Amino acid sequence: MLSLYKNTIVKRYNIFKSRKPNGKFAFSSLLLFFGIVINSEIIYAQDYNASPTGNTGKVEADVIELEQGSNTVNALKGRVSGVEVENGKLKIRGQSNVEDKLAEPLVIIDGVQLPSGFSWSANDQFSPLNLLNSSSIESVEILKDADATAIYGGKGANGVVVIKTKKVLEQKLRVSVSAAAGSTGVDSWYDFLSTGEYLDIRNKAFAADGITPDEKNAYDLLLWGDKYNTDWQKEFLGQKGKVYNGNISISGGISNKTTFFINAGYFESGTVLLAEPDDKQQRINTKLLVNHRGLNNKLDITASIAFNKLNIQSRGDNPSSNLINAPNQPLYNDDGSLYWLNSSVVNPLRHKYVVTQNKGTDLITNLQTHYSFSSDLNAILDVGYSRNTAEQFQSYSGKYLNPYANNSYKNRVLAGDSYNEKFLVEPRINYTKKWDNHSLTALLGASYQADHFAGDDLELRDFPSEFFFRNYAVAPVKYLVNSNTEDIKRASVYTRIGYDYNAKYIFSGTIRRDGSSIFDRENRYGNFWSLAGAWIFSDENFIRNNLGFLNYGKLKISHGVTGNDNVTPFQYITAYGASTYPYEGGAGLILKRVANPQFSWEKTQKSEVHLDLAFLNNRLQVTGAGYLHISNSLVGNQPTAFQTGVDSYKDVLQDVVLRSRGIELDLVSTNIRNRNFQWLTTLTLTIPDNSRITSFPGIENTSYASTRKVGERLSITRLYQFTGINPENGVSTVKDVNEDGKITAADDKLFLKDTDPDYYGGLHNSFRYKNWQLDAFFYFEKRPFQEGYLKTYYYPAGYIGKNVPRSLVKDYWSPENPGGTLPGLTTTTTSDIGYAYFNHYTESSAVYTDASYIRLKNVSLAYTLPEAATRKLKAKNIRLYVRGENLWTLTEFDEWDPETQTAVPAFRTITAGATLLF
Amino acid sequence: MGITVLLSVASCNDILDVDLPSNVIPREDVFSNQEAIEAAIDGLYAENLFNLGIYEYVIPMYLSPASDESYHNLPTTYNFEEFRKNAYSASNSYIALLWSYPYESALLSNDVIEQLSKTTVISEEEKQHYIGEAKYFRAYDYFVLTNLFGDVPWVKSSNIRETGLLPRESKEKIITDPEGIIDDLEYAKTSLTNSDNDNTRVTRSAASALLARVLLYHEDWAKAEAEATEVIENSEYELETDLDKVFLRPSKETIFRASSAAAMPSYVGRTYFAVIELNASYLRLTDDLVNSFEENDLRKEKWLKNETAGYVHAYKYKRNTATAAGDAEDLVLLRLAEQYLIRAEARAQQGNLSGAIADLDTIRNRAGLSDLSDTLSKEDVLLAVENERRHELFVEEAHRLWDLVRTGRAAAILGNKTNFPDKQWEPYKALLPIPEKELTLNSSLTQNPGYAEIK
């Protein structure tokens, strides 16, 4: 195995990992109880492709396991600097394109690429990452800089996530069993007005407006009364779901040359939103891996096949808008059917009749062949195939529909089927030469990947009854909403040369040529490169002699150009496509786009400076990195006068530059290390300044004019500047920038602010006393400007049918309270207060708030049975644990949850379990 | 190093060639296949009649309130109010749509015309037939554009990377030059047969009918009369005697309609005039129009609806969803009644007053009204035409607004401050301002007179 740097650096640096028997069973988390390993060398020492000079972050099994949710990605939040996790999506060091959708990193699992997500159908929550079993994951690495991502080429332009699943390759039979159970749900609630308080505010608002309530403008007052006092949050999200998790691994060998590893896991979690007993998600994970070593250990073959399955049944869709309904709104009629008043008042409980059933599967096969011609020369061939399927089904029962409304359909089903295939071949040759203090490695590699996607979306309407929902043929109205296939091929050749002198001066360089079928033949190929150098200055005598407290010090610098082909494919073809509607039954074809053959790879220059330090007998390790990414040759919408027939076409945007930069800090400290007691702290901190447009000539004429601005980040919003409540009439006021006496969006909505975090990170403390271990992980984020409650739920206090949190009726303006900080009460959009509220106030800086928070994301308490007791049970090791997620949050954010930023907060989950190793 | 060799190997293109996505059809494939060409023609109908709003709701919805016949009932946040007040601004987003929709439509036609002229897989006759349909749609696009904006860039190609900087061309040339509106419609007329369909496709008569309207607007009275006569004398069409049946699918009066057999969307446009609760409030009729109907005008009874809330809306179309065939309605794009009114006006202008009165009486009698006196002066007859068009064609397309503008009557009627205190009519309001974004993107464009130039 090529391990150029292993002997030198790893031993010296990795104080924790050295205790882990190398390549032994993954259940070494007892010994290795500190989650994060910062230094890339460890990873790369065992990786053929490794770069000793690249920047990566890595999270290992024991940390990932702490996250019991269904999405493994969440486990990375705050664990790796430079990685933003938002609602299950990853963003690595900002984004490099002016179009929003294109910043997803490459995900590689056991050498096979996963699609980043299914955005095909009605509900796009179906990230393939949801199918992974967090307890079968050995490690998740994030590759960030140009050097580390270089061998992935264009695919890795937005960073690379490398997931490795657990495996053991030993002849001796080992069995590991784990099981856990617990409960999950929402545990923090907004403080809404009760029915009495709500009616009181409504009456006051009518008085303030000088309007007489009647059955049309005050049905809540005159028709509904105070019979009900519903807390809609509890109605929607009040239930708890049960969580079960079980896993078994068996490993062993037929001989010492042929070994196998089998893993099977089951996970189940009840859903919370309007849940019925059958609503839950279930996941099954299986994996078989066989390894054979032969020909005097020159040949090493690993074949693996993994199959994962996920079923989700849930109800309703985003409940946000329903949680603010009047507390006295009747729910049911006497006969148990839903209560409806008229065509415009919605009964929120109708969401009970929207049922979503999603089924996903995930097949990942991989064959890795490694042959050593000599100790200097190895050849590797990886062949992988993955196939993901998603079957999505969403039914809207007729009971969902308002019987008074003019419904264009009844009993409706939205259904989508899609699959994604990826086939990958990657041959590589490695050559190593060492002489005296010199070491040279050369890697020559190629890769070929073919992706295929196919999917259909159907809409089926007017089933005679719900009974037939699965029987599509029965539906009298059927639409094929969407149907497509897509093929993309990519091919690359690359070489990487590494050289080091005395393991002290390290250099590596990569050159590659990437081709992508996304571009026209003439523009299909791009050449990219990266260069990196590292200097282990702690090995210099002058440092050793003068700075004795420094155990390790390394400075790394990398620079490179990566290409991104993640643009809308096939723009080089003048294409016709189906018209939006058919005409006289026949599908029409219309001109969809006029070809633009010109564009090619987007380019990002990535530079990084990286410093690793270790002090106090390696008990304090600090890694700092600064990065600068400059993206140009960006593809976007080129505006044109509409007389052409279009307002823009895709083109390379001349001289548009996007910049991301930031500072990342990772720290590992062994505070106490005794025989009986150990305390370890890890800290990550990211201070980003990402995705800032530094140049965009003529932006005012583009479709980006209203959403982007030169010098600002991509996430900016345009707002009015709030200038307070008029003490005379309670009307909210905003700044009239051009002082023309009128408030108009074009002239006055000029207050710009981005919603990016100032910094974020995680703090993990781990304590071990004899057989006990306590872990606590806090995530923190400073995000000073985020749309808050008033933006999302934009009704003023006193408005018909809309409840408000108690905090919004504490200091509203009234003639008696002229200094009130909130607009006066109103029942209508047409009063002065109401007009300003809807048109200016909710579009102003007033409704943005500080969404910073600190959250105790994970706590785990574990106990390892004493050896004597374990032996009695014929086990090697037995461990019991209790885990909690999202137990505590500190925030001033005025909306439901600063993390999810929706009405569904991060669930609080508590589980207890045991792991046994035989 | 060997890398150079490998890099050049990878340059062999073939390994990266892939099948196209199934929803992308290269243009050259479309025009080398007979069925695909037919589908491309269907696409013109679907896109023009359903998806782009210009045949559907956009024109009446935006422009009817600019005349004296209707107003919107919408929150003021929608800048529709500018239409009702004739206070057009170059930044109005609906004016931008009135500019962009016809150009979007013209791009589709231009490409089909260009590609068809090169294709060899269909007969010359079929080719001309299809080109005729595409030209009809293009002629309508420029009819709308020149009416609204006067001189406009005249784009006859699908080369979007080059046509974006074309300057304005004179309205006169766009109407009369080769490949202009009249030329396109005459081409359509000669290449299309008379109705071999259920009036859901452009026919020779449809081209004639639109041409009659264009010629009337162009004040080419004799030719306008001739075209209208050709349509009127076609025995396939006759006026429905029952006003309730005029907009029903089997109506004999229909010359061209949007076929909404399977597609819902053509109903959407109609709902702006229909009865449903949600949309009835969009376009309400002015008292001025409602009170101007003669006492026993059946159109007042059949085509207007009084809501209890105290407003009146048009009730020409009565349904909001697709229904059984007998009751089915389609959006009517051209109907015979207009041809009688075109001919009446053209005849009056040429001094044939009795002929004009006869045509007017045909329409009046159908509405239960008595004959006009045959002693009217030319001026009176022209006023009678105006009046009859108002009561027959209200909230169809932008007939009323364009009638007032082209006859020079706008100042007297829309400028009447007593009737319409909110309106800010001035002679230059006959044209809309060029959308300001277009002026910025195409530096060779100039603003219409009267509207402040963009700095």
What pLDDT score does A62 carry?
63
Question: Which pLDDT does position A510 carry in this prediction?
Answer: 93
Both tokens of A79, joined, read 């664990």
CATH number 3.40.50.970 is the correct assignment for the domain at B38-192+407-413+423-446: no
Distance CA A400, CA A387 (A): 35
Strand partners, A267: A245, A283
* CA–CA gap between residue B187 and residue A681 (Å, rounded): 83
In this prediction, residues A282-308 reach a mean pLDDT of 92
pLDDT, averaged across chain A: 83
Contact assignment for B160 to A448 by CB distance below 8 Å: no
- Residue-level pLDDT at B49: 87
CB–CB of A701 and B437 under 8 A?
Answer: yes
Residues of A in contact with B10 (CB under 8 A): 446, 491-493, 513, 515, 525
Per-residue model confidence as pLDDT tens digits over B292-326: 999 999 999 999 988 777 788 888 887 665 555 56
On whether the CB atoms of residues A727 and A739 are closer than 8 A, the answer is no
| Least reliable range by pLDDT among A640-644, A740-744, B92-96 | A740-744
Poorest-confidence range of A86-90, A663-667, A757-761? Answer: A86-90
A266 Cβ contact partners less than 8 Å away, ≥ 6 residues apart = A244, A245, A246, A247, A282, A283, A284, A285
Q: Do B159 and A513 touch (CB under 8 A)?
A: no
- Which burial class, exposed, middle or buried, applies to B387 when counting CB atoms under 10 A from its CB (0-12, 13-18, 19+)? middle
Tell me if B25 and A589 make a contact (CB, 8 A cut-off): yes
Cβ distance B45 to A575 less than 8 Å, yes or no, reads no
Confidence of residue A575 (pLDDT cuts 50, 70, 90): very high
How far does the CA of residue A742 sit from the closest CA of chain B (Å)? 13
CB proximity list for B220: less than 8 A, separation 6 or greater: none
Question: What residues pair up with A774 in beta bridges, in sequence order?
Answer: A767, A861
The position carrying tokens 């486990």 is: A75
Q: Closest partner residue to A584 among B9, B23, B259, by Cβ?
A: B259
Instruction: Report chain B residues whose CB lies below 8 A from the CB of A839.
Output: 77
pLDDT at B79: 74
CB-CB under 8 Å, B75 with A576: no
Residue A191 CB coordination number (10 Å): 9
Is any Cβ of chain B less than 8 angstroms from the Cβ of A525? yes
Best probe of the B interface among A419, A517, A589, by most B CBs < 10 A, is: A589
Q: Does the pLDDT value for residue A31 go beyond 70?
A: no
Summarize pLDDT for A801-837 with one digit per residue, the tens: 899 988 888 899 999 999 999 999 999 888 899 989 9
A625-655 burial: b if 16+ Cβ within 10 Å, else e:
bebbbbbbbbbbbbbbbbbbbbbbbbbbbee
CA of B356, closest CA in chain A: separation in Å? 38
Please state, in angstroms and rounded to a whole number, the distance separating the CA atoms of residues A40 and A55. 7
Q: Which residues contact A609 (CB under 8 A, 6 or more apart)?
A: A555, A556, A557, A625, A626
Q: What is the pLDDT of residues A421-457, one digit of tens each?
A: 989 999 999 999 999 999 999 999 999 999 998 988 8
pLDDT at A506: 92
- Write phi, then psi, for A810 (nearest 5 degrees): -85, -40
Distances (CA, A) of B353 to A81, A849, B357, B381: 87, 74, 6, 7
More confident residue, A658 or B211: B211
The tens digit of pLDDT for each residue in A213-270 reads: 988 889 999 999 888 899 988 888 888 889 998 999 999 998 889 999 999 999 998 8
In this complex, the residue of A513, A574, A579 whose CB is nearest that of residue B27 is: A574
Q: What is the model's pLDDT at position A22?
A: 29
Question: Would you state the pLDDT for residue A225?
Answer: 86
Q: What is the pLDDT of residue B370?
A: 95
Return the DSSP state at A813.
Answer: -
Place of tokens 């069925």: B35
**Mind telling me how many Å the CA of A448 is from chain B's nearest CA?**
9
Q: Is A637 on the interface with B (CB under 8 A)?
A: no
Phi-psi label, residue A737: left if phi above 0, alpha if psi -120 to 50, beta otherwise = alpha
For the ranges A155-169, A285-299, A737-751, the one whose mean pLDDT is highest: A285-299
Closest CA of chain B from A410, distance in Å:
13
Q: How far is CA B176 from the centre of its chain?
A: 19
Name the DSSP class of A817: B
What's the pLDDT at A619? 87
Residue contact B108–A591, C-beta within 8 A: yes
State the Cα angle at B209 between B205 and B215, rounded to 5°: 135
Inspect the interface and report whether the beta carbons of B160 and A644 lie closer than 8 Å: yes
The neighbour count for residue A187, using CB atoms within 10 Å, is: 15
Tell which wins on pLDDT, A315 or A58. Answer: A315
Indicate the angle between helix axes B124-149 and B181-191, nearest 10 degrees.
150
pLDDT for the residue numbered B170: 97
Tokens of B234: 């076609």
Higher pLDDT, B94 or A481: B94
Q: Which residue of B has its CA nearest to A699?
A: B441
Report the complex ipTM: 0.91
Question: Is B168 within 8 Å of B445 (Cβ atoms)?
Answer: yes
Question: Taking Cα atoms as reference points, which of A526, A550, A528 lies closest to residue A540?
Answer: A550
Largest CA distance in chain A: 96
pLDDT of residue A654: 80
The residue of B103, B441, B455 whose CB has the most chain A CBs within 10 angstroms, and thus the best one to mutate to test that interface, is: B441
pLDDT digits (tens, 9 = 90+) for A521-556: 888 899 999 999 999 998 888 888 888 888 899 999
**Which of the residues A483, A583, A654, A702 would you substitute to probe the B interface, choosing the one with the greatest number of B C-beta atoms within 10 Å?**
A583
Return d(Cα A595, Cα A579) in angstroms, integer.
18
**Calpha distance A511→B4 (Å, rounded):** 11
* Interchain pair A646, B104: CB under 8 A: yes
Q: What is the mean pLDDT of residues A133-152?
A: 79
Q: Which residues contact A119 (CB under 8 A, 6 or more apart)?
A: none
Q: Cβ atoms within 10 A of the Cβ of A796, count?
A: 28
Q: Least CB-CB distance to B13: which of A343, A490, A524?
A: A524
CA distance A311 to chain B (A): 29
Q: What is the mean pLDDT of residues A582-604?
A: 84
The answer to whether residues B315 and B283 touch, using CB atoms and an 8 Å cutoff, is: no
**CB within 8 Å: B16 and A594:** no
Q: Write the single-letter amino acid at A447.
A: S
From the CA of A576, how many Å to the nearest CA of chain B? 5
**Which pair of structure tokens corresponds to residue A781?**
């984020």
| A32-86 tens-digit pLDDT | 222 222 222 222 223 333 445 556 666 666 666 666 555 667 777 888 888 887 7
- Strands annotated E in A373-437: 377-396, 412-435
pLDDT on residue A696? 87
Angstrom distance (rounded) from CA B256 to CA B266: 14
> Looking at residue A16, what is its pLDDT?
29
| A460 compared with A119, residue with greater pLDDT | A460
By C-alpha distance, the chain A residue nearest B278 is A406
Q: How far is B329 from chain A, CA to nearest CA, in Å?
A: 15
Closest CA of chain A from B78, distance in Å: 12
What angle (nearest 5°) sits at the alpha carbon of residue A526, between those of residues A521 and A528? Answer: 170
How far apart are the CA of A542 and the nearest CA of chain B, in angstroms?
A: 39
Cβ neighbours around A523 below 10 Å, total: 16
Residue B18 to residue A488, Cβ atoms within 8 A: yes
- A448/B259 Cβ within 8 A: no
Q: Would you state the pLDDT for residue B338?
A: 97
A842, A792 contact by CB (below 8 A):
no
Interface touch A645/B106, C-beta < 8 Å: yes
**A100 phi/psi in degrees, rounded to 5:** -70, -30
A520, closest residue in chain B (CA to CA): B17
- Between the alpha carbon of residue A801 and those of residues A223, A324, A742, the distances in Å are 12, 8, 31
Q: Do A493 and B7 touch (CB under 8 A)?
A: yes
Task: For residue A758, name the pLDDT band (cuts at 50, 70, 90).
Answer: very high
8 Å CB contact of B25 and A448: no
Q: What is the mean pLDDT of each run of 10 residues along chain B (455 residues)?
A: 42 74 90 94 91 80 91 69 90 92 97 94 94 97 97 95 92 96 97 83 96 98 97 94 90 89 49 46 84 94 84 80 63 94 98 96 96 94 97 93 96 93 93 92 90 57
> CB–CB of A445/A429 below 8 Å?
yes
